[in-house]
Structures are given as structure tokens and as C-alpha cells.
């Protein structure tokens, strides 16, 4: 069965972008494929974290994944730092990654900004760790949002470089799986920036933990443009296109159909409909998340069990990679 790997950082609340771009698709795939879903805490520490908050966020994201529909009986859910093979394989792969490849990565450029010299090595090497995450399990399919496409292309290059160096066909070349009506959910305050956990304004994103009133208020306040009726035109009218795409993804309908049904409708009416749909879809997730968070022992059990199952796959692949490279040991 095809193996699937994907991850989410425990850097704060899960938001609608994480849900529609990635997690909703993970849920749909869990019974069809052999899936590993990882809370990538080693990625989170590429920017400074407060230890207690990192722990809480790791539990919260685990609860969020299960509340959204992931079932630990159908897939493996674990946090990355419990399986040391991620860090070890990342080191091995660092030795096959030319700096020129990393210099092209737009996420690093955006996150490091103008302070490139004081940016951390971990942030720069982030895509190599991401490659290790995937290759450690020989996963060939990686369901992600649009923003991760460039990193996935790099993963393919690194896997190919390793295989060529030893004339082996050991690592599969991972394929991104980017699907659904909202592969890039944009900020509610600016239709040209992606919705993100680190946005300074909470009104820019919808959190999976938002209650019904907050959801309605955020959608009501979402930025619009001055044209009279809705139309799907991402280039010219990004805010309208974003709201239509969110509606389509929540309703599980093609965006073209949603756009056709609502063309010409005023923003206020449409926002009312969108708020109703968002409350109907997301409120049960928030409620389930609260229940799960009230039982930290269960969350711990899921993560421990998931790590054990992940270890079993990882250890065998890592041992083989070491052998191919001529590193002594088992």
C-alpha cells in the first residue's frame, strides 16, 4: 500500500488553512493508504519557542488532528522528536544538499527577512529535515498545502542525489498531493498573504478553537473590495476569491459551482451564509477538541503508541541508509 507522510508544526493554534489545505485531506486518506501524521516539534524549534507553550501546543495540535477526524487506529500519529531517526537522517542528507539549492527556498527568505546573517542554521536547514521526515518512512505521497510545493521539489532532488551518489534506487522520489478547493487559504485581512499561525492579527485567521460568535465576527470583519457583487477572480479580487474558495472547501463542492451560484451576491449576504457554514462545520471540531484536551493521559497514550509504530519503520530504513553509506554499526 502506498505510504503517506505529512506534518504540522505545534507553533500555535491550528487554523483554517492547516485544516482545509492539509488536515481535511489527511482524514480522507487515512483508510486508503498507510499514513503517518506527525506533529513536527523539531521544525517548530527553528524559531524560538517557550518550552511550556511548546508542550501545550503539541498536545493541542494532537487533539486538533483527532477532533478533525484522524483515528489512531487507522493511521500513525506521533510527535517527531520521539523518533530520533528524523534528526539522524537529516544529518546524513545535509551531506547531499548543495547550499545553492537551499538558497532558492522562498520560505527561508520570507522568514529570515533582511536579517539573514542572524537567521538560525536550523531555519535554513528546515527543508532538509522535512526531506528526512518523508524519506525515513519511504513515503511516496505527501499531502500538503500549496505553500509546501517548493520544499517537496527539493525533497525529490535530495532523494535523487543520494540514489545517484551510491547508484541505488533506495529512496522513492516523494510526490506532493495538493488537492481540495482551498489549497492556499489567504488571510482574512489581506487576500494576497497566506493565512498563517504567526500573523500578528488574530482577525487574519480562523482558529479551529474559535467559538461560534468569534467565527461569525471574524467573517463579518473580513476584508472585502469595493465592487458591488461577488465574482471569482483571484488576480483582481483576491479577497472575494478567498471567501468563495473557503466556502467551497467547507461545503466539499467545486469552487466553480460555488462561484456560479453566488456571482453578483453582495458581500454581507454571502458572509452570513459563510459564517453559518463555518459554524456548522467547525464547531463540532472545537467541541471534540475540548473533550480530548481534558484527557491528557489519552493524548500521551496516542503519541507514545504512534512513536513506537513509527520507530519500527524508521529504524529499518535508517539502518539500510547507513549500510549503503558504509557507516559501521547496526
Query: Minimum distance from CB of 8 to ligand AQP (Å)?
Result: 4
Q: Is 194 a catalytic residue?
A: yes
- Per rule CB under 6 A, is residue 127 in the interface with ligand AQP? no
How far apart are CB 320 and ligand AQP at their closest, in Å?
28
- Mutual orientation of helices 212-221 and 267-293 as an angle, nearest 10°? 150
Among 39, 89, 130, 144, binds ligand AQP (CB under 6 A): 144
| Smallest gap from residue 175 Cβ to ligand AQP (A) | 14
Tell whether residue 245 is a contact of ligand AQP (CB under 6 A): no
User: Which one of 2, 109, 111, 218 is the catalytic residue?
Assistant: 111
3-state SS, the chain, equals CCEEEEEECCCCCCEHHHHHHHHHHHHHHCCCCEEEEEECHHHHCCCCCCHHHHHHHHHHHHHHHHHCCCCCCCCEEEEHHHCCHHHHHHHHHHCCCCHHHHHCCHHHHHHHCCCHHHCCHHHHCHHHHHHHHHHCCCCCEEECCHHHHHHHHHHHHHHHHHHHHHCCCCCCCCEEECCCCCCCCECCCCCCCECCCCCCCHHHCCECCCCHHHHHHHHHHCCCCCCCCCCCCCCCCHHHHHHHHHHHHHHCCCHHHHHHHHCCCCHHHHHHHHHHHHHHHHHHHHHHHHHHHCCHHHHHHHHHHHHHHHHHHHHHHHHHHHHHHCCCCC
* 9 is an interface residue for ligand AQP by CB under 6 A: yes
Q: How many residues bind ligand AQP (CB under 6 A)?
A: 20
- Give min distance, CB of 144 to ligand AQP, in A: 4
Q: What is the grid cell recorded at 67?
A: 477532533
Does 2 qualify as catalytic in the annotation? no
Stretch that binds ligand AQP, among 28-36, 52-60, 188-196, 266-274 (CB under 6 A): 188-196
Q: Are strands 141-143 and 76-79 parallel, antiparallel or unpaired?
A: unpaired
- Contact status: 8 vs ligand AQP (CB under 6 A): yes
Any contact of residue 185 with ligand AQP (CB under 6 A)? yes
Active-site hit among 194, 218, 223, 271: 194
Judged by beta carbon, residue 148 or residue 155, the one nearer ligand AQP is 148
Residue closer to ligand AQP by CB (options 9, 79) is 9
Nearest-approach distance from CB 127 to ligand AQP, in angstroms: 12
105 interacts with ligand AQP by CB under 6 A:
no
Q: How far is the CB of 179 from ligand AQP (least distance, A)?
A: 11
Choice from 41, 60, 147, 210 touching ligand AQP (CB under 6 A): 147
Identified catalytic residue from 109, 149, 197, 271: 197
Nearest to 95 by CA among 326, 330, 329, 328: 326
Q: Residues 20, 246: contact at Cβ < 8 Å?
A: yes
184 binds ligand AQP, rule: CB under 6 A: yes
Is residue 24 annotated as a catalytic residue, yes or no? no
Asked if 148 touches ligand AQP (CB under 6 A), the answer is yes
- Binding of ligand AQP at residue 17 (CB under 6 A)? yes
Tell the smallest beta-carbon distance from residue 282 to ligand AQP (Å): 15
- Using the rule CB under 6 A, is 21 a contact of ligand AQP? yes
φ/ψ bin of 180: left (φ > 0), alpha (ψ from -120 to 50), beta (otherwise): left
Question: Maximum CA pair distance of the chain?
Answer: 70
For cell 492547516, what's the residue?
18
Report the residue number whose CB is nearest to ligand AQP: 21
Considering only residues 194-233, where is the footprint of ligand AQP by CB under 6 A? 194-198
Site residues (vs ligand AQP, CB under 6 A): 7-9, 11, 17-18, 21-22, 144-145, 147-148, 183-185, 194-198
Catalytic site residues? 111, 194, 197
Amino acid at each position: 500500500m502506498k505510504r503517506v507522510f505529512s506534518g504540522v508544526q505545534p507553533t500555535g493554534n491550528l487554523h483554517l488553512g492547516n485544516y482545509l489545505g492539509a488536515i481535511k485531506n489527511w482524514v480522507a486518506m487515512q483508510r486508503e493508504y498507510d499514513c503517518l501524521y506527525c506533529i513536527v516539534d523539531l521544525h517548530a524549534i527553528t524559531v524560538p519557542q517557550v518550552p511550556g507553550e511548546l508542550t501545550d501546543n503539541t498536545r493541542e495540535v494532537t487533539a486538533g488532528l483527532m477532533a478533525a477526524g484522524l483515528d489512531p487506529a487507522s493511521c500513525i500519529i506521533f510527535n517527531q522528536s520521539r523518533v530520533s531517526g528524523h534528526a539522524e537522517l537529516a544529518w546524513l542528507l545535509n551531506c547531499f544538499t548543495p547550499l545553492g539549492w537551499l538558497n532558492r527556498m522562498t520560505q527561508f527568505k520570507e522568514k529570515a527577512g533582511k536579517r539573514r546573517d542572524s537567521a538560525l542554521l536550523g531555519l535554513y536547514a528546515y527543508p532538509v529535515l522535512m526531506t528526512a521526515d518523508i524519506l525515513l518512512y519511504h513515503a511516496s505521497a505527501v499531502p500538503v498545502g500549496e505553500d509546501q510545493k517548493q520544499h517537496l521539489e527539493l525533497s525529490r532532488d535530495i532523494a535523487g542525489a543520494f540514489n545517484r551518489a551510491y547508484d541505488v534506487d533506495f529512496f522513492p522520489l516523494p510526490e506532493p498531493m495538493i488537492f481540495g478547493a482551498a489549497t492556499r487559504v489567504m488571510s482574512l485581512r489581506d487576500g494576497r498573504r497566506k493565512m498563517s499561525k504567526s500573523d500578528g492579527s488574530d482577525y487574519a485567521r480562523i482558529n479551529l478553537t474559535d467559538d461560534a460568535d468569534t467565527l461569525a465576527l471574524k467573517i463579518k470583519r473580513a476584508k472585502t473590495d469595493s465592487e458591488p457583487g461577488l465574482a471569482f477572480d483571484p488576480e483582481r479580487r483576491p479577497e472575494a476569491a478567498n471567501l468563495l474558495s473557503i466556502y467551497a472547501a467547507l461545503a466539499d463542492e467545486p469552487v466553480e459551482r460555488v462561484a456560479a451560484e453566488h456571482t453578483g451576491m453582495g458581500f454581507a449576504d454571502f458572509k452570513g451564509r459563510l459564517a453559518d457554514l463555518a459554524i456548522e462545520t467547525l464547531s463540532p471540531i472545537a467541541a471534540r477538541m475540548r473533550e480530548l484536551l481534558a484527557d491528557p493521559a489519552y493524548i500521551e497514550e496516542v503519541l507514545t503508541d504512534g512513536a513506537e509504530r513509527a520507530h519500527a519503520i524508521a529504524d529499518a530504513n535508517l539502518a539500510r541508509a547507513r549500510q549503503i553509506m558504509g557507516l559501521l554499526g547496526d
